[in-house]
Amino acid sequence: MNEGLVAFVRSIIAFFLLLIYARFLGKKQISQLTLFDYVLGITIGSMAASLSIDLSSRMWPHWVALTTWTAAGLAIDFLTTKSKFAAKCIEGEPTIIIMNGVILEDNMRKLRYDASNLLQQLRSKDIFDLSEVHFAVLEPNGELSVLKKPELQPVTPKDMNIPVPKTGLGIELIYDGIVVDLNLKQINRDHYWLMSELKKFGVKDPSEVFLATYEASGSLYVDKYKDRIKKPIIVGDFKGPY
């Protein structure tokens, strides 16, 4: 038995299976995961690793276990989407910790959440004075959401009656030297328009451009491969081996 070859083949299979299953499980950010989602991810990863390297057992039981856990995770996600009751039981719900500036100790006790945890999370949100907090909510994923008192919230252009220009999402027109025709069509423009705009930036061919985006204001942002910056600033403070 060639163990290296077997490990290689099983690893390739485990890798692609994990890729597909992770795609199925959805695209929540790490910060949005509940404790259970996190543990599920670790467990599934561990099973994929076993499938890859545990040559002392057959591949099939590992495959079944991996698929079962993924299917169960998907089923729970579906259930929590369809049923509010199930979502509350399985994922929990947000709990108010501070209400109108007052700490709710009973809620904290129920969650086994103490004052030091609260102060730590407030500090991570740059709040060092408890009197600034109007509401604080502990989310199911353990994050603390904070609403400051109205008089302490940052001023917005609306408060000052300042008109603001229209904003929107930038659309990529050139990505890594290649023109994105679909996006060009989306903004009702063609290659002739693009080339005429690029000429203003001294660009003769789209292959010279690393990234070009069409902003909501109607302007074009162009970054060329050949930058004017010859020597970038070295951010590190230690010379190092390189």
Partner 1 sequence: MRKFFVIFAPIVIIAISIIVALSGTFLKKPMKGWDNVPEHMEITTKAIMADDWALAELSESKLETAWKTVIKRIQFSGERDEMHELTVSIFRLKASITSKDKSSALMELSEAREHWDGLCK
Among positions 29, 31, 56, 131, the unique one binding partner 1 when judged by CB under 8 A: 56
Among positions 25, 33, 59, 180, the unique one binding partner 1 when judged by CB under 8 A: 59
Q: Please identify, using beta-carbon distances, which residue of 26 and 202 lies nearer to partner 1.
A: 26
Number of residues that bind partner 1 (CB under 8 A): 19
**Closest separation in Å from C-beta 66 to partner 1:** 10
Question: CA 175, CA 143: separation in Å to the nearest integer?
Answer: 36
Find where tokens 């369809």 sit.
82
Among positions 27, 30, 31, 60, the unique one binding partner 1 when judged by CB under 8 A: 60
Give the 3-state DSSP-derived string for the chain, with helices as H, strands as E and coil as C.
CCHHHHHHHHHHHHHHHHHHHHHHHCCCCHHHCCHHHHHHHHHHHHHHHHHHHCCCCCHHHHHHHHHHHHHHHHHHHHHHHHCHHHHHHHHCCCEEEEECCEECHHHHHHHCCCHHHHHHHHHHCCCCCHHHEEEEEECCCCCEEEEECHHHCCCCCCCCCCCCCCCCCCEEEEECCEECHHHHHHCCCCHHHHHHHHHHCCCCCHHHEEEEEECCCCCEEEEECCCCCCCCCCCCCCCCCC
SS3 30: helix
Amino acid making up residue 232: P
Q: Please identify, using beta-carbon distances, which residue of 5 and 155 lies nearer to partner 1.
A: 5
Site for partner 1 in 10-29 (CB under 8 A): 10, 13, 16-17, 20, 23
Among positions 32, 39, 42, 57, the unique one binding partner 1 when judged by CB under 8 A: 57
**Closest separation in Å from C-beta 57 to partner 1:** 6
Q: Is 196 in the site for partner 1 (CB under 8 A)?
A: no
**Closest separation in Å from C-beta 67 to partner 1:** 8
Q: Is 58 in the site for partner 1 (CB under 8 A)?
A: yes
**Closest separation in Å from C-beta 132 to partner 1:** 49
Among positions 9, 35, 187, 216, the unique one binding partner 1 when judged by CB under 8 A: 9
Q: Which stretch binds partner 1 (CB under 8 A): 53-61, 130-138, 139-147, 194-202?
A: 53-61
Q: Please identify, using beta-carbon distances, which residue of 52 and 141 lies nearer to partner 1.
A: 52
- Pair 40, 68: CB distance under 8 Å: no
Site for partner 1 in 152-191 (CB under 8 A): none
Q: Which stretch binds partner 1 (CB under 8 A): 50-58, 135-143, 162-170, 206-214?
A: 50-58
Q: Is 5 in the site for partner 1 (CB under 8 A)?
A: yes
Question: CA 62, CA 57: separation in Å to the nearest integer?
Answer: 8
